[in-house]
Every structure is written in structure tokens, then in C-alpha cells.
Structure 1
Amino acid sequence: MSQYSHIKYTTSPTPSVVSGYSSASRLHSPLPPPVGHRKDCLSATSKTYKYLRRLFKFNQMDFEFALWQMIYLFISPQKVYRNFNYRKQTKSQFARDDPAFLLLLLVCLFVTSVGFAYVLNLSFWQSVGFIFYVISVDCIFAGVIIASFFWAVTNRFLRTSNLEPDIEWGYAFDVHLNAFFPPLILLHFIQLFFYNWLISQTWFISRFLGNSFWLMGMSYYVYITFLGYNCIPHLKNTRLILIALPIIFLLYLVVTIIGWNATISFVNFYKYRVY
């Protein structure tokens, strides 16, 4: 008999054992399971209900992170959308599940609208109507329309395959809110410091500066909207959104040359709505 006959050779574990081990280890893993293995994916209605319910739970909101997002929407918006991809991998949704950003945006909109009403010399009740109109119509209502448009277009025409998941409407609305914030600060806040003594005049530098604010604000909106949809892997031809940029620049040149100050027209339109 061979001197090695007493050695017992073990066989590799069967596939069922490996599968059982993997399942057990996944149950005890501190990391969230991949999206494809999640069994707790919520419906759109459930996600909306969960989001709205958290509007009144301030202690559960991450205002510090929302403020970080607002700052980086100015200096590096790509980093903001990188976080949306992380959320998709961990929580199986692109849209925000924390309303802190929306609340901070509404606070900014309220404060800047108060300043705008002061610059326009509005009365108290005119200011109240103006603030209500800006928040409900200019931000929320217009945002619902724009988000619904991009939601329908991206799902209908820009998905690489019908087998790919739909773009969430909530995410489309988040993209609008992200793109809305920089123009809000530029047009409703920074521009106010130049309006009475410079932009409201009839000089060339006045309409150049006023129209330049609008050029920057609209360009920010288009570029951040593009980033929002370009970061989704299963969308194609998202660069078509950038076609709006040369059109905006051409309009900027035309209105500046013909002597039209977009900011003065914007202010007159606001006055007309509250008087």
C-alpha cells in the first residue's frame, strides 16, 4: 500500500453550498445589496408619499449636505450628480429622498423675493402677492411643466432601449431644482445690487450688464440640466440639450445690439403682475 493512502482528499464545495454561503454572507453584510437584488424597491407613489411625509420632520433632514450641493452647483455641478449616481446604487432611485434641498431653495427664493420687492418699492400686500407668485408659479408650477416635458422626452426618445428603466419624474423635477438655483442667485440676488444705480439706466453698459446676467443665468440652467440627464448611463443623445446654448448667446447679442434691456423688461413684467 502506498505511503500516501491514509491521506483523505476533500472535494470542492457543491454549487448549492456556495450559493448558500453567498446568501448567508449577503444577509450579514453591512453594505446595501446591489440594485438588482433589492426586494424593497418602492413604487413611485410610495416614494412620493415618503418624500412628502419627511417635509415636516426637520430633524431627519441633512441640511448641511443640501447646502454643500448648493455651493457645488456653482463651482462643480458634476460632483452633485455623482452623488445622484451613488444614491441609485444604494437606494435604487436617482431622485432625492431628503427634502432638505427643496426647503433651503424655498427659503432662498423667499429671501431674495423680499429683496426684489424692496427694490421694486412694493407695498406690503403687493410684496406678499409677489412672493407667493414667484414661489408657486415661477418655481413650482414652471418646474412641474419643465420636468414633465423632459421626463416624457427622455423616456420616449432618449433611452437606449425600452428594456432600460424609466427616468423617474421626481428625478426630472430634481434636475429642474438644481438648474434653477444658480439663476435664482444671479438674477434675484446679485443683480439687485446693480439695478437701481446702473442696470436701470439707458446706457449701453446698463443693458450689457443686465443682459449678461441673463446670459449667465440661462446658460447655467441649460448646462446643469444637460449634466442631470447626461449622467444617466442608459440615455443617448443628451448633448442635444446643449443646442440651446448657442441660441441663447445669439439672442444675447441681438437684444444687446438693438438696445433691449432684458432686466428692465423682466422688472416691468413683475410690476405688471402685482399692480
Structure 2
Amino acid sequence: MRQYTRSPRYDSDNQSTGGLLPEPATSRQDCMSAAMKRYKYLRRIFKFQQMDFEFALWQMWYLFVSPQKVYRNFHYRKQTKKQFARDDPAFLLLLSAWLTISSIAFAIVLRLGIIQLIKFLVYVVLVDCIGCGIIVATLFWFFGNKYLRRDCNDLQDIEWGYAFDVHLNAFFPQFVMIHIWQLFFYNGIINHEWFISRFIGNSFWLVGICYYVYITFLGYNCLPFLHKTNLILSSVPVLVLFYIISIISGWNVSHTVMEFYHNRVK
């Protein structure tokens, strides 16, 4: 009977780190390449029976109440599947479904036609969510690997897919704040020249963007091979200052963005 033994190096590493770090480099030979991971991910987009939508909904809920639990699960995935990034596109598909519902609500608020609604949906999903997400994820992936790793010679690095997942995680609460909750107040309060209008509208944007920054910080702060991740939070004071200036100057950010949305689908 064939016997299997653990490598001493593997045991010592797991004991010293609590089993949260990836396996040593010797075991990485079995890991899939980045291209293979992307192919596997995209191939499952149309295989709904293989997706765990219930777990994706659980993640969406906990991104509000306890986002640390969501990122703890990414560590478990690294231990079991040798990658931090999701291998199940259920979260992205559910997010796209929520974007579709919110786009219909936007069409009602902005009085858009069918063609304009389709254009708006394409912009929101492909440009605002996925397109901007690719840019943001690439920037964090590049600068994180170059400047935030504790040891540049360490084989552990930020997976691009994980950087994109961090964007999706951070985008969802911001989207709910700005694309759903804000709509309930837009026509009745925000779309006016009153002080309370710009205060409420700009507050939605401040909370939404700050939540995006915070969840992004949590995503990179939980990686044990990174340091100085608190630099991500340094943008919060700048956002607060910008918020105060916008209130004092009389700039209603929500009204400006709504006008932008309306003009780009004409």
C-alpha cells in the first residue's frame, strides 16, 4: 500500500501561520496558470446548475453586516483550491441582475425610453462595473505587487482575479447605496436647490465611496504577505474634505451625476 507523508516544511509553515498562508513554492507546481483559471471561470458563466447562488447572496449580505467574514472565506478557498480569487461567477451574475433591476428604476426616475434603458444598462454593467473594475483591479494588482509586498522575492503575490473580486465586493454596497436607496429620495428631495437636497444627495455619495474604500482596504489588509495597506484609507480624509467643500459651494453631486447619466444615453 502506498504511503503518503507530509513535508516537514509544510507542517512547520502551517503551525507558525495558523494554516492561513498558501502552501510552499514546491506545491505550486500543481496550481493552474492564470490563463487556465480565467478560462475555467468564464466557462462556468452559462452553467447555472454549477453555481452557488445561495452562497453568493450570503456574501452580499455580509458585505454590509460583517465584511471580514467574506474575506475569511477567501482564505479558506486558498487552502482548498490554491487560489484566493473566486472560481464561481455566481456573485458577478447576481450583481449584474441587481444592476439590471436598478437600471429599470433609473429609467423610471429619469423617464428614459426602451432604447435609452438598454444603453443605460450596457453603460452601467460593462463600463461602470466591469470596465472600471478592470482598470481599478489592474492598478491595485500592479502597485500592490510592486510596493506593498513585504518581501519582493517572495513567490506569493496578489492574483489579478482576486483584485477584481475585491472591486466587486466593494462595488456592491456602494451600488446599493447610490443606485437603489438614493432613488427613493431623488425626485422628492434631492432633485431640488435646497440645502437639505445637496446634503442628503452628497451624503449618499460620501458614504458609498467611503464604504468602497473600506472594503477595498479589508480585501488587501487580510493578505498576510502585504504591508502598509492602511495607505488605502488615506483617501478618506480627502473625500470628507471634498464633501464639505461641495456642501458649502452649493454643488449637488447627485444632480450632476443624474444629468450625466441622462446625457450619455441620448
* TM-score normalised by length of structure 2: 0.90
Aligned residues of 1:229 and 1:238 also touching (Cα < 8 A): yes
1:62 alignment partner AA: D
Deviations 1:210-258 (A, max 9, x none): 0000011000000000000000000010000000111111111110111
1:265 alignment partner AA: T
Moved more, 161-170 or 189-198: 161-170
Deviations 1:187-229 (A, max 9, x none): 1111101000101011111110000000110000000000000
Alpha-carbon separation, structure 1, partners of 2:122 and 2:227: 38
Whether 1:42 and 2:32 are equivalent positions in the alignment is: yes
Number of the residue aligned with 2:129: 139
Deviations 1:99-119 (A, max 9, x none): 100100010111101111110
Deviation at 1:38, TM superposition (A): 6.0
Deviations 1:33-59 (A, max 9, x none): x73346531110111111111111111
Number of the residue aligned with 1:122: 112
Q: Which of 93, 96, 108 is equivalent to 2:83?
A: 93
Q: Which of 142, 156, 168 is equivalent to 1:152?
A: 142
Aligned residues of 1:35 and 1:90 also touching (Cα < 8 A): no
Number of the residue aligned with 1:234: 225
Whether 1:84 and 2:74 are equivalent positions in the alignment is: yes
Same amino acid, percent of matched pairs: 60
Number of the residue aligned with 2:199: 208
Deviation at 1:21, TM superposition (A): 5.8
Deviation at 1:20, TM superposition (A): 4.8
Number of the residue aligned with 1:31: none
Alpha-carbon separation, structure 1, partners of 2:42 and 2:4: 40
Deviation at 1:146, TM superposition (A): 0.4
Matched residues, number: 247
Q: Counterparts of 1:1-275 in structure 2 under 5 Å?
A: 20=3, 22=5, 35-36=23-24, 37=27, 40-164=30-154, 165-275=156-266
Describe the SS at the equivalent of 1:161: coil
Number of the residue aligned with 2:11: none
Alpha-carbon separation, structure 2, partners of 1:197 and 1:99: 37
Unaligned runs of 5+ in 2: 7-21
1:207 alignment partner AA: R
Alpha-carbon separation, structure 2, partners of 1:53 and 1:40: 21
| Regions of 4+ moved over 4 Å | none
1:79 alignment partner AA: K
Deviations 1:121-179 (A, max 9, x none): 01111111111111111111100100000000001111111232121100000000000
* Structure with the greater alpha carbon radius of gyration: 1
Deviations 1:6-45 (A, max 9, x none): xxxxxxxxxxxxx95636xxxxxxxxxx733465311101
1:250 alignment partner AA: L
What's the Cα RMSD here?
1.4
Describe the SS at the equivalent of 2:165: helix
Unaligned runs of 5+ in 1: 1-18, 24-33
Aligned residues of 1:62 and 1:98 also touching (Cα < 8 A): yes
Alpha-carbon separation, structure 1, partners of 2:55 and 2:141: 26
Alpha-carbon separation, structure 2, partners of 1:109 and 1:170: 21
